[in-house]
Chains A and B, each alone.
Chain A
Amino acid sequence: MNRLTSLPSATPWLLGGNPNSTSLPLGGNLVFMLLLLFTAPLLAWDEKKANLGGLEGFVERMGGGIRELGRGNTGVADDSAMPGAFWNPAFVAASHKGIPISIDGEQRNLGRAGMAFGIQSGLGSRMGVGFALLTRGVTDFEVTDEDENNLGNANPYFYMAYLSVGWRASRKDLIGLSFSKSGENFDLEDKYEMDWSDGGQSPTSYNIGWHRQWLDRWETGIVIRNLGFNSDLTARWTRSPTRDNMVASTETFRPKTLEMGALYHGNLQGQRIDLHLEILDYQLVDTLLAFDPDRHYWTARWGVEWAAFRNGKLRAGMDSRNLTLGCGYRFDLRWNRKPWPLDLDWALVYESQAGFWNPLSVGVRTRIP
């Protein structure tokens, strides 16, 4: 269903014009520009707070889904974002035909490789379940000891897994809950004579999400990530890389994150254009709630996705200060006489602080009929 054709005509104050206009409605444009103006300083300001890079959660921060990566790593407000269990646990209850599946792969500079997998399915008329796995690793890491002896190569990897359940609370609202675990394997067993743990894992944490369809042009999503089963609701655990204490155990936690997104469906040159905006707030301490601004880190993302040509999409965005570009193409296949869409996506990411262009990000999305 084309949402734009079903717009009621009594909402000129929001749309600011003819809903069938081929140009972006002024009102929507104004609102969106105001939001962008408000968040733009955040895009340049994300260095002010404590160092987010020194905290847990880089797998999560790098996101999952090449389509989403190409539009500034945005997805919490788009119920078609994949993997849904990662982006917003509520998405698994969205009305998708068949069983959506996504597989994504990345190879970035300095031997960094990543993969994301997502699958979800409806459950009854109002529920859905989904699973997502995000992994990041390093290839060909040379292990050198204190005497500069080469002990061999290792391939450490880190992952996050999500299991989500969602409900359609109303015609416009979706809510969801996902359970997540993170883990790692340093791949050093045969390099050092220590009693290594069989890959560390965090305890289970949980994430809650909400999605709403406002009229037909607006969608919003809110996700709260990394909540723990304790009095502080903090995803906290003790990391013990070895069993023999040759490497000290450390207390660590993943920052609670509030992610708020808005999605606006517009029209450009007669083709649909989606504008995404997200604001993220990381709480950098493991207390229940901290109101001190110095204990928080804010950043923003924005993205644009334009159906520039038939079956094709062009994307652009920014994730903090990293520029992203992307494109996608849908193949309308058929399987057993049923339509079987296959989307191929590609993204280019510029990591501004390091000065890296990363062109090898490819993803496939499909739906099992």
Chain B
Amino acid sequence: MHLKYLVILVAFIVYNTPAKDVFLSNFSCGISRGFIPGTVWIIGCGEANSANGYSVLQLRQTTSGLEAQGSSDFILPSGIMGVHEQVFYSQFPENRRFILTPAGTAMIGQAFKASPDSGITESAGLVRILPALQDIDTFKILAGNIDPESPPEWEDLLQVSVHSIAVDQGGQIWTARGPWGVARSITSPLTWENNVAIPDSASTLVLNPKDGRWDTVEDLSDLDTTKSLSVWAIAIDSSKGTLWVGSNKGLWRGHRDSTKLNRIRLGTIDTLRITGIWMDDLAQKIVVESALRDTVRDTTRVNGKTQIKKNVKVISSLWTSWNQGNSFEKVNMPYDSLDVSVYAVAFLGNVGWAAVQGLESTDNGLIQIQGSTASKWPDSLTNNSREATSRFLWGMEAGVVDRDGSITGVTTFDLGTGKGLAVSTFGAGISVSADSGRTWRQILNQKSVKTGLKEVRMVPSVMRGYGTSLVAYRLSKSAKVTIEVFSYDMRKVRTIVRNEPRLADPVRSTNPREDIWDGRDDAGNPVVAGMYYVRVKDNKDHESWGKVLFLGGAQ
């Protein structure tokens, strides 16, 4: 290991305050490999302020599998967020980004904060985490003006946030900011002073659509965004200095020092809206996401009058190149209904793993891409007949996660003996694989419950209608359990499981896929708000009760 990394690792361990849990939150929005081999960084986006920040885990292969050994947390200052709270609801793939990337001996992410004037969350620049110094700070990059009297909608504010970051070999940082072009650090690294980037330490570049030339912009308030390209994605091959730029009109390529880029054709079109670019460490494999915007007119009649409403429909496509970008092929998605946006892509061998989310559906999972083909997960994983489209999504049924929780990111990390895969989820911790995705291990924040069925803990104990609550319990010996839900006046409303086998376990015996309550009764009807009681009973006459307050609104 390089001496530099050794020093950092020692400092990391010496100054490390052991995390109370494995990481900040089971709700994570993005994951990245760390700059220290064997580490992964996770963006925590739980609801509590204390769950808003970053966690770093050291992963090691042991005889019992991949385990997290050592972790540290970095909580963002109050009011600053690493993720926009509406990112899951954006209809535009370019906005669905969770950004965290290594840069030298630091990690760089994006920052958001609520505007003091409008209260709407807007981009606040970048976050820099220096683990050796246990330091986390934010800095603002040159920004345009937002009129506090009439601030744009959150979706428009997301458009001018940071969509992509590329870190060059010398530590130079390129930041894609949509209509506000690209911010490129001049000094290396960026000069930080009072949390504001000094104007001459970064320059703002915009791409001219006519000839692909870079134009430097001194003051973004003077920028006419209709005359320059919006940049949604950026990537760099540091060894060759090749810069890749994804814009609203095409994919561009050129040298980092060049003042001009060349447009790259994808298929028969060279003006596709490019919303994402991901490449492996050697820049041999590249995945590109394009997203066409189409305006659809919906005609309805209300009170005898015809109303026409314009809706924007986004159609996405994936393109791959396995030859350093010399040629691209469109990935054949299995069905039209699998229309997704990509959170992140990781490359392992000849396989690209894309963490995806449906654009207008709840489809979520990993897509495994080989060449220009998306692969199904093996038949051996399940005997259930499922919709054909879902067989291409690697999620709970493929064993990637063990419970309901959207996959939000994917990365590879150094295992020493090879590379591992790690996936972040919203609600199910992280999942890691040491065998190229064949089997997965879940790592979660979990608190032990008393053994012998002496305690039942509902997680969470206050349910809002759109969620579920996990029934956490622990058996001292394997048994068959029955889990039932009762109302306050002790009327049984739901049988969750009946006489199902569960194993004794050092932490808990809960089956996270089945031992959950969704706020519905046996007939599938949502119950009303109130206090409910959950009984777990085994076939040896042990029983225990948990409480859950349901606030209503099951969907």
Q: Is A10 an interface residue (CB 8 A)?
A: no
Can you give 10 A-B contacts (C-beta < 8 A)?
A: A53-B487, A53-B491, A62-B489, A143-B549, A144-B459, A147-B26, A147-B445, A192-B47, A351-B490, A354-B490
Closest residue to A284 on the B side, CB-wise? Answer: B525
Given A51-B493, A53-B489, does the pair A144, B551 have CB atoms closer than 8 Å? Answer: no
- Distance of A188 Cα from B551 Cα, bound (Å): 11
Q: Is A170 an interface residue (CB 8 A)?
A: no
User: Which candidate, A248-256, A259-267, A270-278, A330-338, is the interface stretch facing chain B?
Assistant: A248-256
* Contact among B51, B466, B472, B487 with A248 in the assembled complex (CB-CB below 8 Å): B466
* Contact among A53, A188, A354 with B535 in the assembled complex (CB-CB below 8 Å): A354
Q: Is A189 an interface residue (CB 8 A)?
A: no
* Contact among A55, A147, A149, A250 with B553 in the assembled complex (CB-CB below 8 Å): A250
Instruction: Give the interface size bracket for B toward A.
Output: 35 or more
Other A-B pairs beyond A53-B492, A188-B462, 9, CB < 8 Å: A55-B528, A136-B488, A138-B531, A147-B21, A156-B531, A192-B47, A192-B462, A248-B553, A354-B486
- Distance of A47 Cα from B484 Cα, bound (Å): 15
Q: In the complex the two chains form, is B491's CB within 8 Å of A353's CB?
A: yes
Chain A residues, Cβ within 8 Å of B42:
none
Q: In the complex the two chains form, is B461's CB within 8 Å of A143's CB?
A: yes
Q: Is B402 an interface residue (CB 8 A)?
A: no
Q: Is B530 an interface residue (CB 8 A)?
A: yes
Q: Is B377 an interface residue (CB 8 A)?
A: no
Q: Is A229 an interface residue (CB 8 A)?
A: no
Chain B residues, Cβ within 8 Å of A246:
464
- Distance of A184 Cα from B47 Cα, bound (Å): 25
Chain A residues, Cβ within 8 Å of B51:
147
Instruction: Give the interface size bracket for A toward B.
Output: 35 or more
Chain B residues, Cβ within 8 Å of A111:
547
Closest residue to B20 on the A side, CB-wise? Answer: A149
- Distance of A47 Cα from B522 Cα, bound (Å): 11
Chain A residues, Cβ within 8 Å of B526:
54, 250
- Distance of A29 Cα from B310 Cα, bound (Å): 74
Q: Is B301 an interface residue (CB 8 A)?
A: no
Q: List B residues 487-546 near A (Cβ within 8 Å).
A: 487-494, 521-523, 525-531, 533, 535, 545
Given A53-B493, A148-B445, A248-B466, does the pair A141, B26 have CB atoms closer than 8 Å? Answer: no
Q: Is B457 an interface residue (CB 8 A)?
A: yes
Given A51-B522, A144-B457, does the pair A353, B486 have CB atoms closer than 8 Å? Answer: yes
Q: In the complex the two chains form, is A110's CB within 8 Å of B545's CB?
A: yes
Q: In the complex the two chains form, is A239's CB within 8 Å of B531's CB?
A: no
Chain B residues, Cβ within 8 Å of A149:
48, 50
Q: In the complex the two chains form, is B547's CB within 8 Å of A51's CB?
A: no
Chain B residues, Cβ within 8 Å of A62:
488-489
Q: Is A142 an interface residue (CB 8 A)?
A: yes
Q: In the complex the two chains form, is A247's CB within 8 Å of B26's CB?
A: no
Chain B residues, Cβ within 8 Å of A58:
487-489, 530
- Distance of A353 Cα from B485 Cα, bound (Å): 11
Q: In the complex the two chains form, is A51's CB within 8 Å of B523's CB?
A: yes
Q: In the complex the two chains form, is B529's CB within 8 Å of A184's CB?
A: yes
Q: Is B27 an interface residue (CB 8 A)?
A: yes
Q: In the complex the two chains form, is B552's CB within 8 Å of A145's CB?
A: no
Q: Is B460 an interface residue (CB 8 A)?
A: yes
B489 to chain A, nearest CB (A): 4
Chain B residues, Cβ within 8 Å of A250:
465, 526, 528-529, 552-553
Q: Is B399 an interface residue (CB 8 A)?
A: no
Q: Is B46 an interface residue (CB 8 A)?
A: yes
Q: In the complex the two chains form, is A241's CB within 8 Å of B529's CB?
A: yes
Q: List B residues 416-437 near A (Cβ within 8 Å).
A: 427
Q: In the complex the two chains form, is A141's CB within 8 Å of B461's CB?
A: yes
Given A141-B531, A158-B530, does the pair A353, B492 have CB atoms closer than 8 Å? Answer: yes
Q: Is A146 an interface residue (CB 8 A)?
A: yes
Q: Spell out B's residues near A (CB within 8 Å).
A: 21, 25-27, 46-48, 50-51, 427, 445-447, 457-462, 464-467, 472, 486-494, 521-523, 525-531, 533, 535, 545, 547, 549, 551-553, 555
Given A54-B525, A158-B530, A184-B529, does the pair A148, B447 have CB atoms closer than 8 Å? Answer: yes
- Distance of A246 Cα from B445 Cα, bound (Å): 24
What 1/0 flags go to A340-357 for Cβ under 8 Å of B? 000000000001011010
Chain B residues, Cβ within 8 Å of A158:
488, 530-531
B113 to chain A, nearest CB (A): 16
Q: In the complex the two chains form, is B549's CB within 8 Å of A141's CB?
A: yes
B248 to chain A, nearest CB (A): 33
Chain A residues, Cβ within 8 Å of B446:
148
Minimum-distance CB pairs A-B, first 9: A53-B491, A53-B487, A248-B553, A54-B527, A351-B490, A250-B552, A144-B461, A354-B490, A51-B521
A104 to chain B, nearest CB (A): 16
Closest residue to A55 on the B side, CB-wise? Answer: B528
Residue of B21, B487, B492 most packed against chain A (CB within 10 A):
B487
Closest residue to B426 on the A side, CB-wise? Answer: A146
Chain A residues, Cβ within 8 Å of B447:
148
Given A53-B489, A55-B528, A146-B27, does the pair A241, B445 have CB atoms closer than 8 Å? Answer: no
What 1/0 flags go to A271-309 for Cβ under 8 Å of B? 000000000000000000000000000000000000000
Q: In the complex the two chains form, is A110's CB within 8 Å of B547's CB?
A: yes
Given A51-B522, A142-B461, does the pair A247, B553 have CB atoms closer than 8 Å? Answer: yes
Chain A residues, Cβ within 8 Å of B553:
247-250
- Distance of A184 Cα from B533 Cα, bound (Å): 18
A48 to chain B, nearest CB (A): 12
Q: In the complex the two chains form, is A145's CB within 8 Å of B493's CB?
A: no
Q: Is A112 an interface residue (CB 8 A)?
A: yes
Chain B residues, Cβ within 8 Å of A154:
549
Q: In the complex the two chains form, is B461's CB within 8 Å of A53's CB?
A: no
Q: List A residues 93-151 near B (Cβ within 8 Å).
A: 110-112, 136, 138, 141-149
A292 to chain B, nearest CB (A): 15
Q: In the complex the two chains form, is B528's CB within 8 Å of A143's CB?
A: no
Given A186-B551, A252-B552, A354-B490, does the pair A145, B460 have CB atoms closer than 8 Å? Answer: yes
Residue of B51, B446, B461, B525 most packed against chain A (CB within 10 A):
B461
- Distance of A249 Cα from B458 Cα, bound (Å): 23
- Distance of A243 Cα from B472 Cα, bound (Å): 31
Q: In the complex the two chains form, is A147's CB within 8 Å of B551's CB?
A: no
B443 to chain A, nearest CB (A): 14
Residue of A53, A144, A353, A354 most packed against chain B (CB within 10 A):
A53
Closest residue to B462 on the A side, CB-wise? Answer: A143
A172 to chain B, nearest CB (A): 34
Chain A residues, Cβ within 8 Å of B472:
148
Given A146-B27, A148-B447, A354-B535, does the pair A241, B551 have CB atoms closer than 8 Å? Answer: yes
Q: In the complex the two chains form, is A144's CB within 8 Å of B458's CB?
A: yes
Given A58-B487, A239-B552, does the pair A147, B48 have CB atoms closer than 8 Å? Answer: yes
Chain B residues, Cβ within 8 Å of A353:
486, 490-492
Chain A residues, Cβ within 8 Å of B528:
54-56, 250, 252
Closest residue to A253 on the B side, CB-wise? Answer: B528
Closest residue to B21 on the A side, CB-wise? Answer: A147
Chain B residues, Cβ within 8 Å of A47:
492
B119 to chain A, nearest CB (A): 11
* Contact among A54, A146, A184 with B493 in the assembled complex (CB-CB below 8 Å): A54
- Distance of A47 Cα from B527 Cα, bound (Å): 16
- Distance of A192 Cα from B523 Cα, bound (Å): 31
Chain B residues, Cβ within 8 Å of A55:
527-528
- Distance of A249 Cα from B529 Cα, bound (Å): 10
